[in-house]
A and B are shown apart, each in its own frame.
Chain A
């Protein structure tokens, strides 16, 4: 098989006395979809924050396509081909849906350095933006202000913005968090079709086990910052320790949701 696109070597993050992520190793192959699961506080988002440059690792090494990217700032890691979404919506609220994607595209294509073009007449970028919106099924909303569209549509817009930099590696942080069951189904189907298209390599954190088993080629189970287990969805489903650690936590979640 080919070389891994992302290699994580002994990645560790400590906050004072707390170890949020402890000695994680991971190899991601091109065109693969890997899910990272684990209860809240397992260290998934901290892991993402280090891979995308938002946080400096305490120890360990991150290699993207043979290049050491450990500790680079977010904009450099993005330039090298890692694009991420966030758990909370991270869009440009006062711009239209289409403009949100245009911003990312003009950054990606280097138009952002042009001082004297007219952005609203940049038809190439506009058409490309609409293409990405179509891919996510939200091109009907293109002229809406981004802050007024539904929560689920905002999350889809974020995915469109993530894909617009044509990343080698896409990090999605709980793409279906807070969605209605209907939106979750729609989003899962979309991400599945994007993964199946063979154009993208995905790293996904997710709470919803149905979504995970549906999407992932391999699953990394994290617990208290450490790797509990890694394997195929089948192996994870049948692993006794995972069932105890993770499904136990899920029951708690279910209780919390029932009594908010």
Chain B
């Protein structure tokens, strides 16, 4: 019964998201596009954080590489958008393989510090390799051509681009969700709870952590590939370590224990940022207070707390 109600709510939410361009202003179309992209970014992060128990402070490296990859392919090769996204995923998967290979052998704070260090290195490269990345200005001036697969879309139209983002993020979310529900996903959860027991069951924990890291990295790259045309620029800020903090905040805000938690976190984060910055400049102060409250009182996040309460009380 409860599952049916939740499924119903999810269906209504999806229907609402599809209908947005017909009922909302351009302003909210932009905001929702950002929420979806950052939600995918945060959900990919949660695969390694909430599921596998690895706190990475360098996830923006993959998001940023994805942005740069799409921007570079659009500028130099003018490939269809879908091909750009695949290049973004491939590039970030490759980078995640290298960074992950060197990082997953370490635990806890050492893993966090190493990912932060690699994230800073990637940022420094993007910032200084002017001939390729155009330095601090970033890559701009690219335009989206065709979508690919013979689908005829005017990607420059924000409403159309919103729908494209919605569909791609939905497909990516389903794939990530299936991974979480698989036997592999079960092992990831087991690794978070007790890595030693998993290795005594005959599995190489490092390999599993690395595979999770690469999957998470490639989906962060996909999110980055969607972000560059939306912002019309791929700039070093997307790779900055402060950008790595965003999926951490969103995942904690929404709740790491449920798959959709990071999406809820992304929505709350972006909406609050938009509304609060229109009243006051101290958005970071408000965000800080909210986060402190979440961690002290609602450790399961907004979605996690709400769902746990509802599933418990209304039995």
Q: Do A and B come from one complex?
A: yes
Stretch at the interface among A37-45, A104-112, A201-209: A104-112
Chain B nearest CB, measured from A18 CB (Å): 24
Asked if A74 and B183 sit within 8 Å, CB to CB, the answer is no
Contact of B202 among A94, A107, A115 (CB under 8 A): A107
A interface, size bucket: 20 to 34
| A93 smallest CB distance to B (angstroms) | 6
Interface pair B186/A106, CB less than 8 Å apart? yes
Given contacts A92-B193, A112-B187, A112-B203, contact A107 B182 (CB under 8 A): no
- The 0/1 profile, CB within 8 Å of A marked 1, for residues 180-208 of chain B is 01111111011001101111111111001
Most central of A102, A111, A112 by chain B CB within 10 Å: A112
Q: Which residues of A contact B132 (CB under 8 A)?
A: none
In the bound complex, residues from chain A placing their C-beta under 8 Å from that of B181 are: 118-120
Residues of A within 8 A of B201 (CB): 75, 78, 103-104, 107-108, 161, 165
Q: Determine the chain A residues whose CB is within 8 A of the CB of B187 once the complex forms.
A: 103, 106-107, 112
Stretch from A23-31, A60-68, A83-91 at the B interface: A83-91
**CB 8 Å contact bits of A68-83 with B (1 = contact, 0 = none):** 0000011100110001
B-contacting residues, A93-140, CB 8 Å: 93-95, 99, 102-104, 106-108, 111-120, 122
**Bound: A108/B185 CA distance, A:** 15
Q: CA of A114 to CA of B187 in the docked complex: distance in angstroms?
A: 10
Quick check: is B284 within 8 A (CB to CB) of the other chain? no
Taking a contact as CB atoms under 8 Å apart, the answer to whether A73 and B199 are in contact is yes
A187 within 8 A of B: no
**Number of cross-chain contacts by CB at 8 Å:** 91
What CA separation (Å) do A122 and B181 show in the bound complex? 11
Known contacts A95-B193, A116-B179, A102 near B186 by CB under 8 Å: yes
A111 cross-chain contacts in B, Cβ below 8 A: 183
Bitwise, B266-292 to A at CB < 8 A (1) or not (0) is 000000000000000000000000000
Contact of B194 among A73, A91, A106, A113 (CB under 8 A): A91
How far is A115 from B214 in the complex, measured between Cα atoms in Å? 13
Cβ contact within 8 Å between A116 and B182: yes
Q: Is A12 an interface residue (CB 8 A)?
A: no
Q: Which residues of A contact B154 (CB under 8 A)?
A: none
Q: Please report A residues at the B interface, Cβ cutoff 8 Å.
A: 52, 73-75, 78-79, 83-84, 90-95, 99, 102-104, 106-108, 111-120, 122, 161, 165
List chain B positions with a Cβ less than 8 A from chain A: 178-179, 181-187, 189-190, 193-194, 196-205, 208
